[in-house]
């Protein structure tokens, strides 16, 4: 019976009312007459035609009319006449209410039968509404197992005769929970239906067409606005986190490319929308598309070939299709929604992995004790030399050196060191207090949808204001989405829309963490008297430099960090427009033509002003000062330094498409599309730099470009020069695609479906070789709804579908070109220019090809209380753009370049489950989970790291066959030596403290991309309260410790020196005396001056397995509690519904180590949100 009720799919044409005209004109009934000639037409389509011609709504039960055909000639009949004629001789009755006609099944025979048993009937009536108070039109009310049933009319009212002894009636409506309602002896029964989030969504949107989910064969994951209610509407990626099996960190089903675009393709309201921008030097960067996130109606993730292949050369990474809200439930009505959220993140600096003042002072003392230069006769002059050159400007070492140089007494030194060592994390504490703030994010959204029957208009406005932790960093933006649909005639409609975004990003350029000198935890930002601390130039610059600055009267280089905060701020202003128009022509009931055009234009103005008072400007001006006759000449005039970038992105998209949809003989359904598409994207950027810029006059000082570009040795001894591109540079990138595509699906009896798609893409991005240029992407798929088989006899299974697909998706590298590109320089030996090939011509350049095989099972069991999907996929990438060793005989033996020859596999499976655990009047508990497993393997590349350090530092440039693309390699740790040095195994398995240089000594450590990830969510509703909890996790991957317990070294004019400033807190557990090697794996503190090869030992330690962290994590990513204000209260405030919500984001993360938690962003990530959501 439950199954039968599921099949009672009412044709809810009302929800589509904006698509068909209703012509309400002051009580005038439409006089549309009906003319049609029917021969063996199915009754459903006959009624549809009547509905279309008349503009009336005809309501009927699909299952009831199924199997009835109509032969009739009707001309100039009224609707009633037409319907009467269609129904004549069939067991149906009809009733008219307003311009609705309800058709009911008479089931005469059955009725006769039951009447003999139950001869008394009584009438009940009432109104059915949804949670928002909207009346539901066409909701079904019936007595299960009996012929008694009806549907609600335009006012949501129903009247029904039920047997005298009947106690329950069943109420059902698409998208709502089917409920049994106690009738008792009441005659008037009103009922509020609740939305059903667990039913399988009935349609999937691919961007090119909207398909019935049951008839699709591809792998889709769909998320609706309701699913996202519990989340903060922040970014698309945060919305998808934990909702889609196989989605992790912006990628769908793992990494499928080496050098091309890695991100999925985003499609908004049918058009691909790419947010590709240029970096400062012309490189292309992919961003998330601009959209009002609150305005999202649904997100469909297309994962396999059958789903995504229609996107051709850009389908391989998966496609994320977003539709925005644009529907109201009712004609002649205006819906207004408003929401606001306020998110607060308390700032706290994580210091757990950094050495505190005590450890730093201990290390500084150890540095002195290990430094042999500080013993013996030359100690004083050595110490004075270090002081003069400010090689170690830190307060601790300065006090030590002052003692050794004889400038202060031992007790002074000890007193200083003791006081320094007691200061804990002073600098970071002060930083939190004076230089940082608690980020606060505000967001407001207003949505209005108005429907006048012939015309639907909607607007959505979002304003966001983010204040970031840096006091002068923040951004705000205003997004405006407009959409309009007009139905001109029965067969012609026009959709138009525009999205506009105005944004401003402010970025503080000065980083207190690297203020221009190396900071130690005992340093100050604020003096004891409360004034801002100044690092005087003579405390970090050599005496020689300071003397030169004084002698030539150069600008002083004192640094006052807290005064610098707003002196080097970057402001980026953006204006983005995306406008589209789509003309739909219904040629016949089964053939539609549409032509659509989208224009996108984005402009970004990036302005950075390094104020003349900033240390950045003073430093630059001084370094570009040269001596002329004993006085300073400033090659860069003193004043504000102004950097400006202007960038424009323009995209055109034109598409024409024919849609075919027809059912033959009731059981053969064919859906097909055929179309062409042209897409053209152009990005251009100009960058310029001006000196001595006057922000009021908008004027700048002149510079001698020739001497700046050729360079000179300045007064301070540095060789200073600018590249010509530092002054001015222009960049341009054009991508063009021309495509022809089509797909078709055939369904037999709603049980068996086969689908196929084909697409040809051509582009300026790849070469002319016919082998690739005319190669189509394709897919084939098959689906079988097992649960619809007659023989299928498992009443607890409501739905069971098996689907298989195979096909190809492509991917492109947007900055590749098939052309020969050369670089030219002057030949000083013989004169003239010499040129060399910087990228070889490659007529075989092509899109990357990823073949995806997918098997999936969709199911719903136990009265739809548990539903889910299981998927297995095998993605085989070939022709991937990979680094390859040049062929020596072709003249490229020493070169590597990218060519379409890489091969990579991604295999995995995904599970998503949703279950309704408890459902009663007051309680509703549901849970859902996703899980994705992905195994990546490089199966072919023709490249091998020429030397060991390239394999270590650029692992992804030299992938290794048989391992993951993101695999990292390192040395096998062999513990500490008896004198505390790090040791590893070399290629022969021998223990060494020297860095093995043989590639064979590098061992596989793991991959940096999770092998599995998933989520677990629960939703608990009690009366008006909803509690949502979402856990996410990922694992099977590793990362390198970025904060190894080993001091780094750098080169100074006095040779190698030790960087104590960046010391790790783990050094507290370092080897200190013989025998410690039994207890610790942290090497002794190795200083540059201690006689060891410090940088080699650092590499031995850093690249060893000892520094590999397990990156598994589990995090509580979201808790939300919302309270729905009771409908009765809302009504009084003329609202449909209202909700107050509180969220806590990322409160907890569990990892194997604190360092892993730090590197995964687990500290300082908790957001607290409060939100108000109103619908009028």
Q: How far is the CB of 814 from another protein (least distance, A)?
A: 11
In this chain, which stretch among 248-256, 378-386, 761-769, 861-869 interacts with another protein, using CB under 8 A?
Answer: 761-769
Asked whether position 285 contacts another protein by CB under 8 A, the answer is no
Q: Is the dihedral of CA 696, 697, 700, 702 positive or negative?
A: negative
CA distance 451 to 325: 13
Total residues at interface with another protein (CB under 8 A): 55
Residue of 94, 434, 502, 892 that binds another protein (CB under 8 A): 892
In sequence order, the 6+-apart residues with CB closer than 8 A to the CB of 1145 are 232, 343, 1117, 1118, 1165, 1166, 1167, 1168, 1169
CA distance 910 to 887: 41
Residue of 331, 678, 1093, 1105 that binds another protein (CB under 8 A): 678
Residue of 33, 203, 446, 658 that binds another protein (CB under 8 A): 658
Asked whether position 834 contacts another protein by CB under 8 A, the answer is yes
The angle that helices 543-552 and 379-389 make with each other, rounded to 10 degrees, is: 40
Asked whether position 824 contacts another protein by CB under 8 A, the answer is yes
Asked whether position 279 contacts another protein by CB under 8 A, the answer is no
Whether 219 contacts 307, CB under 8 Å? yes
Whether 637 contacts 691, CB under 8 Å? yes
Beta bridge mates, 69: 42
For another protein, the closer of residues 480 and 585 by Cβ is 585
322: enclosing H helix or E strand: strand 319-324
In this chain, which stretch among 16-24, 542-550, 893-901, 1023-1031 interacts with another protein, using CB under 8 A?
Answer: 893-901
Asked whether position 942 contacts another protein by CB under 8 A, the answer is yes
In sequence order, the 6+-apart residues with CB closer than 8 A to the CB of 338 are 444, 445, 446, 447, 1173, 1174, 1175, 1176
For another protein, the closer of residues 878 and 1105 by Cβ is 878
Q: How far is the CB of 1143 from another protein (least distance, A)?
A: 46
Residues 844-863 interacting with another protein (rule: CB under 8 A) = 844
CA distance 575 to 604: 7
CA distance 1113 to 249: 13
Whether 253 contacts 873, CB under 8 Å? yes
Asked whether position 822 contacts another protein by CB under 8 A, the answer is yes
CA distance 425 to 28: 80
Q: How far is the CB of 317 from another protein (least distance, A)?
A: 23
Residue of 11, 228, 360, 899 that binds another protein (CB under 8 A): 899
Q: How far is the CB of 771 from another protein (least distance, A)?
A: 11
- CA nearest neighbour of 508 among 475, 555, 463, 556: 475
In this chain, which stretch among 299-307, 589-597, 693-701, 743-751 interacts with another protein, using CB under 8 A?
Answer: 589-597
Residue of 15, 114, 734, 1080 that binds another protein (CB under 8 A): 734
CA distance 693 to 617: 12
Residue of 603, 656, 663, 688 that binds another protein (CB under 8 A): 656
Whether 338 contacts 1135, CB under 8 Å? no
Residue of 285, 696, 793, 890 that binds another protein (CB under 8 A): 890
Helix ranges restricted to H, 262-337: 305-308
Q: How far is the CB of 774 from another protein (least distance, A)?
A: 11
Residues 779-818 interacting with another protein (rule: CB under 8 A) = 817
For another protein, the closer of residues 888 and 1069 by Cβ is 888
User: What would you report as the CA-atom Rg of the chain, rounded to the nearest whole angstrom?
Assistant: 36
- CA nearest neighbour of 12 among 130, 139, 101, 128: 139
- CA nearest neighbour of 596 among 638, 673, 651, 657: 657
Asked whether position 112 contacts another protein by CB under 8 A, the answer is no
Residue of 833, 989, 1073, 1128 that binds another protein (CB under 8 A): 833
Beta bridge mates, 170: 142, 180
For another protein, the closer of residues 791 and 894 by Cβ is 894
Site pattern 679..718 for another protein (x: CB under 8 A): ----------------------------------------
Asked whether position 841 contacts another protein by CB under 8 A, the answer is yes
3-state secondary structure of 1132: helix
Whether 1096 contacts 393, CB under 8 Å? no
For another protein, the closer of residues 373 and 676 by Cβ is 676
Half-sphere exposure of 393 (CA within 13 A, CB side): 17
Q: How far is the CB of 672 from another protein (least distance, A)?
A: 14
Whether 813 contacts 881, CB under 8 Å? yes
Residue of 89, 98, 145, 835 that binds another protein (CB under 8 A): 835
Residue of 740, 804, 1114, 1172 that binds another protein (CB under 8 A): 740
β strands within 886-1024, DSSP E: 896-919, 923-940, 967-970, 973-976, 982-985, 991-992, 1003-1007, 1012-1022
Q: How far is the CB of 661 from another protein (least distance, A)?
A: 16
Asked whether position 764 contacts another protein by CB under 8 A, the answer is yes
Residue of 422, 827, 978, 998 that binds another protein (CB under 8 A): 827
Asked whether position 35 contacts another protein by CB under 8 A, the answer is no
Asked whether position 843 contacts another protein by CB under 8 A, the answer is yes
Asked whether position 25 contacts another protein by CB under 8 A, the answer is no
In this chain, which stretch among 55-63, 178-186, 226-234, 838-846 interacts with another protein, using CB under 8 A?
Answer: 838-846
Residue of 7, 23, 536, 820 that binds another protein (CB under 8 A): 820
Residues 127-156 interacting with another protein (rule: CB under 8 A) = none
- The string over 1039-1073, giving b where at least 16 C-beta atoms fall within 10 Å of a residue's C-beta and e elsewhere, is bbbebbbbbbbeeeeeeebbebbebbbbbeebbee
Asked whether position 463 contacts another protein by CB under 8 A, the answer is no
In this chain, which stretch among 47-55, 515-523, 837-845, 953-961 interacts with another protein, using CB under 8 A?
Answer: 837-845
Given its phi and psi angles, is residue 987 left (phi above 0), alpha (psi -120 to 50 degrees) or beta? alpha
Asked whether position 774 contacts another protein by CB under 8 A, the answer is no
Q: How far is the CB of 116 from another protein (least distance, A)?
A: 53
Asked whether position 376 contacts another protein by CB under 8 A, the answer is no
Residues at the site binding another protein, with contacts judged by CB under 8 A: 282, 585, 587-588, 591, 593, 595, 656, 658, 676, 678, 730-734, 736, 738, 740, 762-764, 817, 819-824, 827, 829-837, 840-844, 885, 887-894, 899, 942
């Amino acid at each position: 019976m439950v199954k039968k009720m599921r099949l009672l799919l009412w044709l809810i044409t009302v929800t589509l009312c904006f698509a068909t005209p209703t012509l309400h004109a002051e009580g005038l009934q439409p006089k549309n007459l009906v003319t049609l000639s029917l021969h063996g037409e199915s009754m459903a389509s006959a009624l549809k035609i009547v509905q279309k011609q008349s503009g009336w709504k005809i309501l009927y039960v699909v299952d009831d009319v199924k199997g009835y055909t109509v032969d009739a000639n009707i001309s100039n009949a009224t609707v009633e006449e037409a319907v009467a004629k269609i129904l004549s001789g069939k067991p149906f009755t009809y009733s008219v209410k307003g311009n609705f006609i309800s058709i009911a099944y008479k089931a005469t025979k059955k009725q006769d039968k039951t009447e003999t048993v139950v001869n008394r009937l009584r009438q009940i009536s009432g109104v059915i509404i949804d949670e928002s108070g909207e009346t539901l039109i066409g909701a079904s009310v019936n007595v299960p197992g009996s012929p008694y049933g009806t549907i609600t009319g335009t006012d949501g009212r129903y009247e029904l005769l039920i047997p005298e002894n009947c106690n329950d009636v069943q109420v059902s409506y698409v998208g709502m929970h089917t409920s049994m309602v106690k009738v008792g002896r009441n005659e008037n029964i009103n009922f509020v239906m609740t939305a059903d989030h667990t039913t399988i969504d009935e349609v999937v949107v691919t961007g090119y067409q909207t398909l019935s989910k049951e008839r699709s064969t591809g792998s889709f994951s769909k998320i609706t606005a309701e699913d996202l209610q519990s989340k903060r509407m922040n970014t698309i990626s945060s919305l998808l986190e934990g909702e889609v099996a196989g989605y992790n960190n912006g990628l769908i089903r793992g990494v499928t490319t080496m050098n091309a675009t890695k991100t999925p393709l985003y499609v908004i309201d049918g058009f691909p929308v790419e947010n590709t921008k240029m970096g400062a030097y012309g490189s292309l960067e992919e961003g998330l598309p601009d959209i009002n996130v609150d305005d999202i109606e649904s997100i469909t993730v297309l994962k396999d070939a059958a789903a995504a292949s229609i996107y051709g050369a850009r389908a391989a990474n998966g496609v994320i299709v977003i539709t925005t809200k644009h529907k109201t439930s009712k004609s002649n009505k205006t819906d207004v929604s408003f929401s606001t959220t306020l998110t607060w993140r308390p700032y706290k600096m994580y210091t757990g992995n950094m050495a505190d003042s005590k450890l730093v002072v201990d290390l500084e003392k150890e540095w002195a004790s290990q430094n042999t230069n500080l013993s013996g006769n030359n100690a004083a002059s050595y110490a004075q030399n270090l002081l003069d050159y400010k090689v170690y400007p830190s307060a601790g070492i300065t006090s030590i050196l002052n003692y050794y140089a004889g400038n202060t007494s031992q007790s002074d030194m000890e007193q200083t060191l003791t006081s320094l060592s007691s200061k804990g994390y002073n600098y970071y504490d002060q930083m939190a207090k004076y230089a940082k703030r608690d980020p606060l994010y505000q967001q407001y959204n207003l949505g209005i949808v108005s429907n006048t029957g012939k015309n639907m208009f909607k607007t959505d406005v979002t304003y966001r204001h983010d204040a970031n932790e840096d006091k002068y960093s923040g951004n705000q933006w205003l997004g405006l989405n407009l959409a309009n649909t007009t139905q001109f005639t029965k067969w012609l409609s026009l959709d138009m829309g525009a999205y506009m975004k105005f944004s401003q990003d402010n970025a503080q350029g000065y980083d207190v963490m690297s203020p221009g000198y190396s900071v130690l935890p005992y340093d100050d930002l604020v003096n004891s008297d409360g004034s801002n601390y100044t690092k005087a130039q003579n405390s970090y610059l050599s005496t020689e430099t300071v003397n030169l600055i004084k002698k030539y009267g150069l600008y002083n280089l004192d640094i006052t960090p807290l005064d610098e905060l707003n002196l080097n701020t970057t402001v980026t202003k953006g204006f983005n427009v995306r406008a589209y128009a789509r003309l739909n022509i219904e040629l016949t009931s089964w053939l539609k033509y549409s032509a659509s055009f989208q224009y996108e234009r984005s402009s970004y103005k990036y302005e950075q002003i390094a104020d003349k008072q900033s240390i950045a400007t003073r430093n630059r001006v001084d370094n570009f000062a040269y001596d002329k006759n004993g006085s300073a000449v400033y090659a860069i005039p003193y004043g504000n330094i102004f950097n400006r970038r202007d960038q424009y992105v323009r995209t055109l998209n034109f598409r024409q498409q024919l849609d075919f949809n027809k059912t033959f003989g009731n059981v053969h359904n064919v859906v097909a599309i055929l179309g062409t598409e042209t897409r053209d994207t152009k990005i251009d950027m100009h960058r310029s730099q001006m000196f001595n810029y006057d922000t009021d006059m908008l004027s700048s000082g002149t510079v001698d470009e020739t001497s700046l570009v050729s360079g000179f040795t300045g007064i301070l001894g540095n060789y200073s020069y600018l590249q010509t591109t530092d002054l001015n540079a222009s960049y341009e990138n054009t991508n063009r695609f021309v495509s022809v595509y089509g797909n078709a699906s055939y369904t037999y009896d709603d049980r068996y479906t086969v689908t196929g798609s084909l697409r040809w893409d051509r582009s300026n991005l790849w070469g002319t070789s016919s082998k690739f240029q005319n190669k189509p992407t394709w897919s084939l798929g098959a689906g079988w709804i097992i649960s619809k088989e007659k023989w299928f006899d498992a009443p607890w299974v409501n739905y069971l579908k098996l689907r298989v697909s195979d096909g190809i998706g492509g991917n492109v590298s947007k900055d590749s070109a098939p052309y020969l590109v050369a670089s030219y320089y002057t030949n000083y030996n013989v004169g003239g220019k010499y040129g060399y090939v910087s990228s070889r011509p490659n007529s075989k350049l092509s899109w990357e090809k990823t073949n995806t095989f997918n098997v999936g099972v969709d199911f719903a069991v136990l009265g739809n209380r548990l539903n889910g999907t299981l998927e297995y996929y095998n993605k085989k990438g070939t022709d991937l753009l990979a680094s390859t060793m040049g062929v020596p005989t072709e003249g490229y033996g020493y070169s590597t370049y990218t060519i379409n020859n890489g091969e990579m596999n991604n295999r995995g499976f995904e599970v998503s489950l949703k279950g309704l655990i408890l459902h009663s009047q007051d309680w509703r508990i549901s849970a859902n989970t996703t899980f994705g497993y992905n195994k990546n393997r490089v199966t072919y590349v023709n490249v091998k790291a020429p030397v060991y350090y390239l394999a270590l530092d650029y692992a992804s440039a030299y992938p290794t066959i048989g391992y993951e693309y993101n695999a990292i390699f390192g040395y096998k740790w062999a513990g500490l030596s008896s004198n505390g040095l790090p040791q590893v195994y070399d290629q022969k398995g021998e223990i060494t403290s020297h860095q093995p240089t043989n590639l064979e000594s590098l061992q596989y450590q793991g991959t940096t991309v999770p092998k599995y990830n998933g989520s677990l969510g629960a939703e608990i509703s009690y009366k008006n309260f909803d509690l949502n909890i979402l856990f996410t996790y990922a694992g099977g991957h590793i990362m390198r410790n970025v904060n190894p317990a080993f001091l780094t070294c750098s080169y100074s004019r006095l040779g190698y020196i030790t960087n104590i400033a960046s010391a790790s807190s783990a050094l507290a557990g370092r080897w200190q005396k013989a025998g410690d090697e039994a207890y610790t794996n942290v090497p002794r503190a190795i200083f540059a001056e201690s006689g060891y090869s410090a940088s080699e030992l650092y590499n031995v330690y850093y690249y060893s397995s000892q520094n590999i962290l397990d990156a598994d994590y589990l995090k509580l990513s979201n808790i939300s509690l919302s309270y729905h204000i009771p409908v009765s209260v809302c009504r009084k405030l003329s609202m449909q519904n209202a909700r107050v919500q509180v969220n806590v984001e990322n409160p907890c993360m569990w990892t194997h180590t604190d360092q892993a938690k730090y590197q995964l962003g687990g500290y300082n990530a908790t957001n607290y949100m409060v939100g108000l959501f109103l619908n009028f």
